[in-house]
Structure 1
Amino acid sequence: MKIMVLVAGLLSIAAQSLPYRHVALRQQTADSVTVVASWTAQNADSVRLAYGNGITRTRGPRGRDSVRVARPNSAANFGLTLTPLRGSVAGAARVLSVALPVRPQPAPSIDSASVDTATTAPVVPPPPPTAFTPNLPAGMRLVGDSDFDSPNVPGIEIINWDRNTVQSPTTHGVALMTVDGRSVVRAWFPEQHAGNGVGPMTITTGEMNSRSHYMAVRLRYSANYQFHTNTEKLLYPVLVAPGAGAPLLNVGRDGELAGFNAPMNGPVAPLVTALSPAGVIPIGRWFHVEYYTRLNSPGQSDGEQRVWVDGRLVLDRRNVSFVVHGAQVLFLRGRLDFTRGGGASGVLTPLGGQWVDVDRLAFYSGN
């Protein structure tokens, strides 16, 4: 009997589970809203997501997924079932639900003997470029803008991969704090760490589905910051086409911008090479980066990419083929990422760790 109890206890410990699961709303418009699910599974190699609108997807044991849902005309909930899987064996399913915002109703009409006119809201043009977005191209649409006074920002999501919010020299982590009299989001790295393709934070948008992307960010690396010898991520948007890669711009050991020298999914494997002079990304002081990329047409090398640092153009690429695809590839999301290297670095982080502060960030999309 004791052996049977022990075996049952071990099976219980090894059962697939979902200790963390969450559902939220993002990128709300008058007609639709994006439902975003995030999860972490234990003892599972995948998670099945069954959305209330009939869509079913299978994803990894830890991640995020989203689906666009039409806003209802009356109050309604939207359900999602997450099931952890280990091979074909399913663990306990978890059901989540979120209240959908009601679709705005049209304004009442004005009736008279001679007039029947519908009242509509005035069209508000997008704001002109400001000192924070001096090189914003015309025709771009604002997706999200935050100075991090609050973690809840429409259009922007802060991902704290380790979920540590108390700064420590021995951990990765993320926290909102006040620095130099301003609100910032700080991401920190532990001391004597080799990188190994690990980082504390990603800041991303909801779905943009646009050919062009502009991003402006004000940030500061700590004065003791050591860039990874294999480069580390900074500007890292996501494309719609699976396997298409990303028109990323990493930071090299000497503060240079580095990126792919050929299409990431082309017939020849691309290399991450220096694309700018050394030192364009400084450490120990606040600086301002603007990033603009327009993806190439199918089968053409007509893409373009530009970066400004403190208003100075430091990268200007024209006639670029970012991706090889038979149809027009779009940006799925804008993304700022802090991950050190794709492997171990020969230069460890300093004693006490290092950090980067982000003071403001804005994402735009366009055609």
Structure 2
Amino acid sequence: MKTAMINRTVANIGLIALLWLLCTLTIPGPLQAAIFFDSDFETCNVGTENDFPCQGWDDLIPPGQHNAEWSDEVNANTLEITNVGCFSGSKCIKETFRNNGLAGDGGNKPTIYKTVPRTDHMFFRGVIKRDASFRTCTLNNSTKMWRFRGEGIGGGYPILLMGVRSDRYVVAVEGPYDFAGTYVFTGGPLISTTWQNVELEWKWNTPGVSDGIIRLWVDGVLYIERLNLALRGPTLTSVGLSGKLDTSDYYFNSSQVYAQCGTGALYWDRLAVGDTRIGPAQSRLSSADSTPPARPTLNPIP
């Protein structure tokens, strides 16, 4: 009798252990933070006038958007791979601006893009510099440089933009739910002729709650921080104050380098996007610590 009870007890313990093991194998744990890509452009062609697609970057975005990377049109803007003066290795992106927003200046706005997965929290990191001749667009004193666009016809709304106004970094949001126009968040430093690590954070608001976040760092210093934003609406049919459709299920699916308007040239290297802060890139010639910096507190900058 006692032996039978012991055997049943051992069997029960074994069954419980087996069930626990199966549960740990089949029930997923919390999602891990990820860097979706970190592009160094080392495998790209140079000087072909058709350097993309490369490393998942392409210029074939939906019809209706000006997207050709290269044009022989007079005063046309261009995007290309260069092997001169790059940050991390032997190759990087050169963005040449000839269209200064004036009539007859061509009007092309070349774009290269790389897709990104749906996520509520998104971070960008790029290493950027200008040449000595670069000037922002004379039409509105601003040059759009980087943007996240989303799903839907024409990319949908809102659109997140990072660029320069009066040669200083700014962040803009076109068509947000809670503002009848375009948010322009100023306070960034001057764009430099030496390489700068630029980081951008975007957190979607919970539908119906004003808890969206936008931050901008340059060389590890937090310059722009805006909290408590309602960037998308509370329902599947929400229309924002600007008259744009800002639905509760809207996400970005495209990260883009965008040559809109200006003169001179910009250079880009080590473009990265993830759902966690990536931290400044290090030159391969540098032995500096590459550990990502700690996240800041949520206290807004005045």
TM-score, normalised via structure 1 length: 0.50
Alpha-carbon contact 2:71-2:77 (below 8 Å) kept: no
List runs of 5+ in structure 1 lacking aligned partners: 1-137, 341-347
Query: Which residue number in structure 1 is paired with residue 251 of structure 2?
Result: 330
Query: Which residue number in structure 2 is paired with residue 309 of structure 1?
Result: 218
Larger relative contact order (Cα-Cα within 8 Å, sequence gap ≥ 6): 2
How far apart in 1 are the matches of 2:176 and 2:101?
31
- Say yes or no: does 1:357 pair with 2:267: yes
Q: Secondary structure at the match of 1:238?
A: strand
Assess, with a 3 A threshold, how the Cα gap between structure 1 residues 199 and 157 changes in structure 2: closer, same or farther.
Answer: same
How far apart in 1 are the matches of 2:115 and 2:75?
32
2:144 corresponds to which of 226, 233, 243: 233
Q: How far 1:209 moved relative to its partner? A: 1.5
Query: Which residue number in structure 1 is paired with residue 58 of structure 2?
Result: 157
- Say yes or no: does 1:244 pair with 2:157: yes
Cα shift readout 1:275-328 (whole Å, capped 9, x = no counterpart) = 2325x1413221110111111011111011111101111111111111224134
TM-score, normalised via structure 2 length: 0.60
Q: How far 1:253 moved relative to its partner? A: 2.0
Cα shift readout 1:29-81 (whole Å, capped 9, x = no counterpart) = xxxxxxxxxxxxxxxxxxxxxxxxxxxxxxxxxxxxxxxxxxxxxxxxxxxxx
Assess, with a 3 A threshold, how the Cα gap between structure 1 residues 213 and 157 changes in structure 2: closer, same or farther.
Answer: farther
* Matched positions, count: 213
Q: Secondary structure at the match of 1:284?
A: coil
Q: How far 1:192 moved relative to its partner? A: 6.4
Identical positions, percent: 20
Cα shift readout 1:166-189 (whole Å, capped 9, x = no counterpart) = 8x9843222212122631111212
Cα shift readout 1:105-153 (whole Å, capped 9, x = no counterpart) = xxxxxxxxxxxxxxxxxxxxxxxxxxxxxxxxx9432222211113354
For the aligned residue pairs, the C-alpha RMSD in angstroms reads: 3.2
How far apart in 2 are the matches of 1:320 and 1:308?
19
Q: How far 1:329 moved relative to its partner? A: 2.8
How far apart in 2 are the matches of 1:175 and 1:236?
18
- Say yes or no: does 1:178 pair with 2:83: yes
- In the TM superposition, what are the counterparts of 1:1-367 in structure 2 within 5 Å? 139-151=32-44, 153-157=54-58, 161-164=67-70, 170-180=75-85, 182-190=90-98, 194=102, 198=107, 200-229=109-138, 230=140, 231-240=142-151, 243-260=156-173, 264-266=175-177, 269-273=180-184, 275-277=185-187, 280-326=189-235, 327-340=248-261, 349=263, 354-365=264-275
- Letter of the 2:187 partner, please give it: P
- Structure with more helix by fraction: 2
How far apart in 1 are the matches of 2:56 and 2:36?
6
- Structure with more strand by fraction: 1
How far apart in 1 are the matches of 2:178 and 2:199?
31
- Letter of the 2:163 partner, please give it: N
Query: Which residue number in structure 2 is paired with residue 105 of structure 1?
Result: none
Assess, with a 3 A threshold, how the Cα gap between structure 1 residues 170 and 235 changes in structure 2: closer, same or farther.
Answer: closer
List runs of 5+ in structure 2 lacking aligned partners: 1-30, 45-52, 61-65, 236-247, 277-302
- Letter of the 1:235 partner, please give it: W
Alpha-carbon contact 1:143-1:155 (below 8 Å) kept: no
